[in-house]
């Protein structure tokens, strides 16, 4: 089983995607299954590190939190664009991170960049510092606390 | 072929509102590209269109075709996933290119690269 399906989650995701795109019928489930098994095996040549991913409640909580934060940031950034405030200043932020797992860092990068108002610029893998650009940088400490409390703790629970 | 006039009135109103809200948010984002001053500020603006803007338009599409075909049509979720996963890659590449340029030119105030700082010492 392990030899045939080295990445079962990836194969399942591909199968679900195939069914969503083509519609549910026995023929398409069979064809999608063959495609999912073959394509997920091509990942073998990339030799990714094991993600060490632990599914659980933390994943759902993180997803919900990110959705809520994206909604809030959308409104905040739209407000900044529409009503120019004179006291707003943007700037760079150095975030010391406790995350070491590359997969967890990748997820954090996607979260931070997908949220309007914050942008992941650089990760220093030696000092473990992330450089982030923030559109509305009121209090640097508060942003650091926010990212650490909301995302980092949950990501550690999921990946490490 | 099912046509849009077959859409019941309640669904047409909700779909219309969702589309309007999504496109307004996207418009505000593009407007931000004009209004914000520096490159790093401008990069934040289009994310409005790729998150909430795209989400609302996709929700309108899901509702419209689910009602028209009387069965769940949810493959729009795939568009949402793909957009969410790929936009950060482009944005990060742009930001990295910009910060590399600014560090090399040394004209705008950007934080120095810790690695090159070590090399210089």
CB contact residues (below 8 A), chain B span 75-94, against chain A? 75, 77-78, 84-85, 87-88, 91-92
Establish if B88 belongs to a structural domain.
Answer: yes
Answer positive or negative: Cα dihedral of B91, B92, B93, B95: positive
Q: How far apart are CA A42 and CA A32, in angstroms?
A: 16
Residues of A in contact with B92 (CB under 8 A): 109, 113, 119-121
Which H or E run includes A72?
Answer: helix A57-82
Per-residue pLDDT, A102: 86
Residues A20, B50: C-beta atoms closer than 8 Å: no
Q: How many domains does chain B have?
A: 1
Q: Quick check: is B27 in a domain?
A: yes
- Please say whether the beta carbons of B117 and B103 come within 8 A: no
Model confidence pLDDT, tens digit, residues B30-42: 998 888 888 888 8
Q: Which of B22, B40, B51 is nearest to A72 (CA)?
A: B51
What string of pLDDT tens digits covers the 160 residues of chain A?
677 788 888 899 999 999 988 878 888 899 999 999 988 888 888 877 777 777 788 889 999 999 999 999 999 999 888 887 777 888 888 999 888 888 889 999 999 998 888 999 988 888 889 999 998 888 888 888 888 888 988 888 888 6
Chain A environment of B85 (Cβ under 8 Å): 110
The answer to whether residue B3 sits within a structural domain is no
For residue A74, give the nearest of B25, B99, B115 by CB distance: B25
pLDDT in tens, A94-131: 999 888 888 889 999 999 998 888 999 988 888 889 99
Examine the pLDDT at B120 and tell me if it is beyond 50: no
- Report the residue from A20, A70, A131 with minimal CB separation from B78: A20
Question: Are residues B51 and A70, on separate chains, in Cβ contact within 8 Å?
Answer: yes
Break chain A into its structural domains and give their ranges: 8-46, 57-159
- For residue A130, the 8-state DSSP code is E
Task: Give the range of the structural domain holding residue B107, as residue numbers without chain letter.
Answer: 8-112
Residue B121 lies in a domain: no
Statement: residue B102 has pLDDT above 50:
yes
SS3 call for B119: helix
């Amino acid at each position: 089983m392990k030899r045939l399906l080295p990445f079962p989650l990836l194969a399942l995701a591909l199968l679900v995607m195939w069914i969503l795109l083509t519609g549910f019928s026995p023929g398409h489930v069979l064809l999608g299954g063959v495609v999912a098994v073959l394509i997920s095996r091509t990942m073998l040549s990339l030799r990714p590190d094991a993600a060490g991913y632990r599914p659980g409640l933390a994943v759902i909580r993180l997803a919900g939190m990110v959705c809520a934060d994206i909604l809030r940031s959308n409104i905040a950034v739209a407000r900044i664009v529409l009503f120019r405030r004179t006291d707003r200043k943007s700037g760079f932020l150095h975030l010391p991170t406790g995350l070491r797992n590359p997969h967890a860092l990748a997820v954090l990068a996607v979260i931070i960049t997908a949220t309007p108002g914050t942008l992941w610029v650089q990760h220093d893998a030696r000092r473990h510092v992330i450089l982030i650009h923030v559109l509305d940088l009121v209090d640097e400490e508060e942003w650091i606390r926010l990212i650490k409390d909301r995302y980092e703790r949950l990501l550690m629970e999921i990946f490490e | 072929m099912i046509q849009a006039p077959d859409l019941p009135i309640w669904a047409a109103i909700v779909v219309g509102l969702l589309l309007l809200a999504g496109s307004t948010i996207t418009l505000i984002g593009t407007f931000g590209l004009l209004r914000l001053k520096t490159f790093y500020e401008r990069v934040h603006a289009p994310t409005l269109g790729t998150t909430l803007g795209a989400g609302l338009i996709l929700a309108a599409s899901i509702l419209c075709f689910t009602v028209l075909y009387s069965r769940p049509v949810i493959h729009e979720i795939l568009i949402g996933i793909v957009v969410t996963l790929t936009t950060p890659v482009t944005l990060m590449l742009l930001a990295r290119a910009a910060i590399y340029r600014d560090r090399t030119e040394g004209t705008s105030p950007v934080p120095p690269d810790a690695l090159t700082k070590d090399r210089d010492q």
